[in-house]
């Protein structure tokens, strides 16, 4: 019999440990094992957690590191050892505030630990005050993201919100009723499917997070609104390939870890360049019903173009995107980076672009044909599988203005050839590299 696992996600200061201690202190009569991964001294917090667990279960201590990346081996060994040597009813895992929940949950779903455990819930705790300040006003970015290798706090916040089945909006006492309404709307804009609870001091009914059986890997992985927007777009005349259309790593994580990567696709290959660039698949007539976020007062649309983007104008345009855009995510086809599929991830006012892998069109002929035979890839005679495809999500977004802004970045015949003229290019061109814009 497998043990139900709850992965308790959230950024530093959101209130995860407070919620965890409250659950442990409750009179629920269950044996609960706890694993806490707190950056700095990556071990169980002896004062705040261990004394709470003495009467209810077991604790696990890990060495310094992050369980979503460098500590995977140690993490797996620890949880398997725990299962083999102790008896308990539930396992609560609290990753550090800089960990992504998806890789942590995946170790229980696809790793050796799946023999002993079953993920019951991925629960994300959100600090209402910080969320409002970050995404509504563009302020309070408490993570130093000047290093291109670091992901901004706003993106980490949305990673947790997008990949979960349960959301706890915490510290509701620190926002006004009007601000809380906006927090709800913004969260529902990016994650319309999760069960939501609200609390002021991390207090929830243990039954809301233990043994809920809400987690479904495929449903949770596809529940983010940017994914839904792309799926809707493709289902109504957008690309139709099978989601495996580039030969490199996964566009979201860069390590092949996301089984639901956005597809590489295109308009039919018999269009000329002019018709491709101005044939808007995302015109209102192509949308027979609202996207999921629309019912929460926040809408989304997909911007899709074949022609490459001028790197300088694109960098400027990204900086000029309106504050009404809460989330933007997808692929970029950038001039001078024709070999590499780039992914853009915008969360609030912070934008990160990284190399996801190679476009199929950039591979040697034999490799390219092998990939095309093994996948259903929409192909353009001129650009192959290269394209820009972005899901734009926001509140009261002037869609025409955003489309016009992005269209102004398209490379024109008057622009110098980026391959021969040394066009200044701020975008990354090596696997595993990223820039902040």
In this prediction, residue 298 carries a pLDDT of 63
Cβ distance 32 to 24 under 8 Å?
yes
Residue 239 has pLDDT above 60, yes or no: no
Strand partners for 35: 60, 93
Q: In the chain, which segments carry CATH 3.40.50.300?
A: 3-220
Top CATH class of 3-220 equals alpha beta
Residue 326 has pLDDT above 60, yes or no: yes
Taking only the tens place, the pLDDT of each residue in 260-292 is 333 333 322 233 333 333 333 333 333 333 344
Strand partners for 155: none
Instruction: For residue 56, give both structure tokens.
Output: 């209810």
Residue 67 has pLDDT above 90, yes or no: no
Taking only the tens place, the pLDDT of each residue in 187-198 is 988 888 999 999
Residue 49 CB burial class (10 angstroms; 0-12, 13-18, ≥19): buried
Cα-trace Rg, the chain: 22
Query: Among candidates 126, 262, 123, 95, which has minimal Cα distance to 205?
Result: 123
Residue 296 has pLDDT above 50, yes or no: no
In this prediction, residue 141 carries a pLDDT of 53
Q: How far is CA 338 from CA 186, 415, 424, in A?
A: 35, 16, 15
Cβ distance 215 to 105 under 8 Å?
yes
In this prediction, residue 374 carries a pLDDT of 75
Cβ distance 296 to 363 under 8 Å?
no
- Helices 177-190, 225-235: axis angle to 10 degrees equals 50
Taking only the tens place, the pLDDT of each residue in 399-434 is 999 999 999 999 998 888 766 666 788 999 887 788
Average pLDDT over residues 14-27: 88
Per mean pLDDT, which range of 9-13, 76-80, 249-253, 403-407 is the poorest? 249-253
CATH of domain 225-436: 3.30.1220.10
Residue 227 CB burial class (10 angstroms; 0-12, 13-18, ≥19): buried
φ, ψ of residue 86 in degrees (nearest 5): -140, 155
pTM of the model: 0.69
Q: In the chain, which segments carry CATH 3.30.1220.10?
A: 225-436
Taking only the tens place, the pLDDT of each residue in 342-395 is 999 998 888 999 998 899 999 998 888 888 877 777 789 999 999 999 999 887
**CA 404, CA 159: separation in Å to the nearest integer?**
29
**Higher pLDDT residue, 303 or 269?**
303
């Amino acid at each position: 019999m497998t043990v139900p696992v709850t992965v308790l996600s959230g950024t530093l200061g959101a209130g995860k440990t407070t919620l965890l201690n409250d659950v442990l202190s409750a009179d629920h009569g269950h044996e609960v094992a706890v694993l806490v991964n707190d950056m700095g001294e990556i071990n169980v917090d002896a004062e705040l957690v261990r004394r709470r667990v003495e009467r209810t279960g077991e604790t696990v201590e890990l060495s310094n590191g992050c369980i979503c990346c460098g500590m995977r081996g140690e993490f797996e060994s620890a949880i398997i050892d725990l299962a083999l040597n102790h008896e308990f009813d539930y396992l609560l895992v609290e990753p550090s505030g800089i960990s992504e929940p998806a890789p942590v949950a995946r170790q229980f779903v696809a790793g050796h630990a799946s023999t002993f455990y079953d993920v019951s819930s991925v629960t994300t705790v959100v600090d209402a005050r910080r969320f409002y300040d970050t995404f509504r006003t563009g302020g309070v970015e408490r993570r130093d993201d000047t290093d291109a290798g670091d992901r901004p706090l706003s993106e980490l916040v949305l990673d947790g919100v997008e990949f979960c089945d349960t959301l706890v909006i915490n510290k509701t006492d620190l926002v006004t009723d009007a601000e809380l309404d906006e927090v709800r709307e913004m969260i529902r804009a990016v994650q319309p499917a999760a069960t939501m609870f609200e609390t002021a001091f991390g207090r929830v009914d243990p039954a809301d997070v233990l043994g809920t059986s809400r987690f479904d890997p495929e449903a949770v992985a596809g529940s983010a609104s940017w994914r839904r927007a792309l799926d809707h777009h493709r289902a109504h005349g957008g690309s139709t390939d099978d989601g495996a259309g580039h030969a490199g790593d996964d566009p979201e994580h860069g390590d092949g870890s996301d089984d639901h990567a956005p597809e590489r696709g295109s308009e039919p290959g018999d269009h000329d360049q002019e018709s491709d660039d101005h044939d808007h698949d995302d015109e209102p007539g192509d949308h027979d019903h609202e996207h999921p976020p629309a019912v929460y007062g926040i809408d989304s649309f997909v911007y899709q173009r074949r022609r490459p983007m001028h790197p300088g104008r694109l960098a400027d345009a990204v900086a000029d995107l309106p504050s009404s855009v809460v989330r933007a995510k997808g692929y970029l086809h950038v001039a001078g980076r024709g070999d590499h599929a780039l992914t853009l991830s915008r969360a609030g006012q912070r934008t990160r672009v990284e190399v996801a892998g190679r476009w199929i069109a950039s591979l040697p002929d034999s490799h390219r044909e092998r990939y095309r035979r093994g996948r259903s890839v929409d192909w353009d005679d001129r650009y192959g599988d290269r394209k820009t495809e972005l899901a734009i999500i926001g509140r009261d977004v002037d869609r025409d203005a955003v489309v016009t802004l992005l269209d102004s970045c398209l490379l024109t015949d008057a622009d110098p050839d980026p391959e021969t003229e040394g066009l200044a290019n701020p975008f990354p061109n090596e696997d595993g590299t990223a820039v902040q814009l």
